[in-house]
Structure 1
């Protein structure tokens, strides 16, 4: 199949949408399909390791206060790219701006389209008090997704919310994880030394021995991620908080948590090493439709503390692989982390269970499921694709 992917983000951007699109492209190539990508221009440094496929970049602007987060501008290049490429199916990654334009262009060209819901735009609109807020965002999303043949949601909570707001048909399509790259064996004494701790971690009484427990967060540093909830944790005796990622909230967080260590963006094998070298992983944002970093921490054999909201609800078995806690409650995070800090055996048990739970969730498996969705909508399309008509 020829698959046109219109996405709100693509590498060198570093975020969940860009990552999942890249993995989709890699899988399509591995299965003998022909992908093409339409994406906003990026401020990042081009990556030589990207697959050699057609990529159409469209003009973009940065969000106010967050210039590195690019939003694609309306342009005729989207429809032109679809006409030239003549896809069998259109994949819309997190459609809201550029990919929303792609949805309407595909409908005009009578091309079947699959919408991948990945970003909680209504939640962000409410959090930032943008325009008319959540209600306006849901009205726009109903229009965008209504132009497509199928919407794929990454978690059961997200699928339920979409259906409740009149978006459908919705089916579940979770994300895969690279359990070879993210592996407990990547735990590194050298990494742990970079954050000024002894290499073997520790539990109760660790501070007195000079062995801190490393509590880590990985992700964008933006206000809606609520990384500030880790401030009480950063003051726990015997604990070192490590923050991996970058974004507009970083400077404020550094002032608020002077005892934490901020490492900036870490990618590739270095990121896998960092994950495996943590003792506890904490995710604090309550607006995640899936939360890939939780899954990567679990694959790395690290116990997880996450909000009982959105995607983490499907990923974390509270009391088995980690703890689900009350969203936006710093005391709930502090209590859960403190219990894990005091009990190394519990950390090992949760970490082992987490690794076992996600080890089989390969990108190959979820990629094949996505191709199945493509084939479904192509078969169900009442108008043959341009390629089929040409044949």
Structure 2
């Protein structure tokens, strides 16, 4: 199979979109397929997993590269002649990629990953919410199939009138994130640093950004016997540091690979605070590492956390529930262990290989759909994005 991946984000930018695209490319290489990547210009490597990476013009928005429509996209696709186009979290560049693919008769699979309307709603931009949904609907109606990561995302897109939806989650590295990591020397050393008095380590992993709402952890002020460990970096760091004054907290910065695995191994409880997640990849990683998870009853976490089995869900507007859940787990190490084991079991069927094979099935479904109704997505896309000149 020949797959063209058009991604709104790619290396060196590190986020959920980039991470999942890298895993898809690695799976395609393992299968012996062929692929290319088209991404915003940001200093990406010339290739990844043996596949060429093509950068197209971009502008910076809050230090984030935003890819622009360009005639180069269609030329790259025409030269490569893909069987299917994978549009990762499509916006401006992804929309243009879908349009160009339709002009070439290539089916597109759009992967919904970023809740742009949700961000606009959180910032009180009511007019922008309606506009964002119109853009999302326009982008995804051009694709043969849209993949959604959670039941909440599917309900949102169905409510916006977007059709041809299918569920596709994310995989997790079951070897790297494992309960045995707790016994690794690196994890033990980190734990000694985080909790020298044997305190319960309550951890978070992810971007430090406004939508992650890490300031909610201030509600844990005064809970005895805990230490917070925050892995990640981002623009909201000053606000989070200010909010957590007086709460014993260690900021570990950005960690990857074995260092990140050791950090999970040093934790006792995992807390996710944002209620705008379309999925919640770090929740899966925490479960794989054998940790109980506390998360909001909203968005992607609703599908990943099973209350009283492998963690707790709290109402986003009731942070007392967050505090209560942490206190219960602090007092009951046996419950932490039992929930951690259940969390590990819950992700055993979600290896990246299994999820990658599922994605191939979605590619094949889109290709069959296009072969049965040639050109249909083009007719559904009323207005095509004009390429920048």
Deviation of 1:329 (Å): 3.1
Q: TM-score, structure 1 length as denominator?
A: 0.90
Go from structure 1 to structure 2 and tell me whether the alpha carbon gap of 1:131 and 1:54 turns closer, same or farther (over 3 Å shift). Answer: farther
Q: Does 1:41 align with 2:41?
A: yes
Match of residue 55 from structure 2: 57
Question: Distance in 2 between the 1:359 and 1:350 partners?
Answer: 15
Question: Distance in 1 between the 2:92 and 2:199 partners?
Answer: 45
Deviation of 1:63 (Å): 2.4
Go from structure 1 to structure 2 and tell me whether the alpha carbon gap of 1:102 and 1:130 turns closer, same or farther (over 3 Å shift). Answer: farther
Q: Does 1:75 align with 2:70?
A: yes
Deviation of 1:255 (Å): 2.0
CA contact under 8 A between 2:179 and 2:289: conserved in structure 1?
yes
Deviation of 1:234 (Å): 4.6
CA contact under 8 A between 1:226 and 1:328: conserved in structure 2?
no
Question: Distance in 2 between the 1:63 and 1:307 partners?
Answer: 29
Q: Does 1:164 align with 2:153?
A: no
Question: Distance in 2 between the 1:41 and 1:273 partners?
Answer: 33
Question: Distance in 1 between the 2:92 and 2:317 partners?
Answer: 28
Question: Distance in 1 between the 2:126 and 2:235 partners?
Answer: 21
Secondary structure, counterpart of 2:299 in structure 1: coil
Q: TM-score, structure 2 length as denominator?
A: 0.90
Deviation of 1:380 (Å): 2.0
Match of residue 203 from structure 2: 216
The range that moved more, 329-338 or 293-302, is 329-338
Q: Does 1:186 align with 2:181?
A: yes
Deviation of 1:70 (Å): 2.1
Please give the per-residue CA displacement for 1:72-131, whole angstroms capped at 9, x wherever unaligned: 123222212111111110000011121122122212222100001111111012123458
- Residues 1-391 of structure 1 aligned to structure 2 (within 5 Å): 1-42=1-42, 50-64=48-62, 67=63, 69-130=64-125, 132-187=127-182, 188-195=187-194, 197-198=195-196, 210-258=197-245, 259-381=248-370, 382-383=373-374
Question: Distance in 2 between the 1:138 and 1:235 partners?
Answer: 41
CA contact under 8 A between 1:8 and 1:95: conserved in structure 2?
yes
Poorly superposed stretches of 4+, deviation over 3 Å: 46-50
Deviation of 1:42 (Å): 2.8
Deviation of 1:62 (Å): 2.9
Give the count of matched residue pairs.
367
CA contact under 8 A between 1:117 and 1:152: conserved in structure 2?
yes
Go from structure 1 to structure 2 and tell me whether the alpha carbon gap of 1:93 and 1:214 turns closer, same or farther (over 3 Å shift). Answer: same
Secondary structure, counterpart of 2:127 in structure 1: coil
Question: Distance in 2 between the 1:356 and 1:221 partners?
Answer: 29
Go from structure 1 to structure 2 and tell me whether the alpha carbon gap of 1:144 and 1:47 turns closer, same or farther (over 3 Å shift). Answer: closer
Please give the per-residue CA displacement for 1:131-162, whole angstroms capped at 9, x wherever unaligned: 82221111111111110100111111211221
CA contact under 8 A between 2:57 and 2:67: conserved in structure 1?
yes
Go from structure 1 to structure 2 and tell me whether the alpha carbon gap of 1:47 and 1:331 turns closer, same or farther (over 3 Å shift). Answer: farther
Deviation of 1:47 (Å): 6.8
Q: Which runs of 5+ in 1 are unaligned?
A: 199-209, 385-391
Question: Distance in 1 between the 2:318 and 2:45 partners?
Answer: 39
CA contact under 8 A between 1:299 and 1:358: conserved in structure 2?
yes
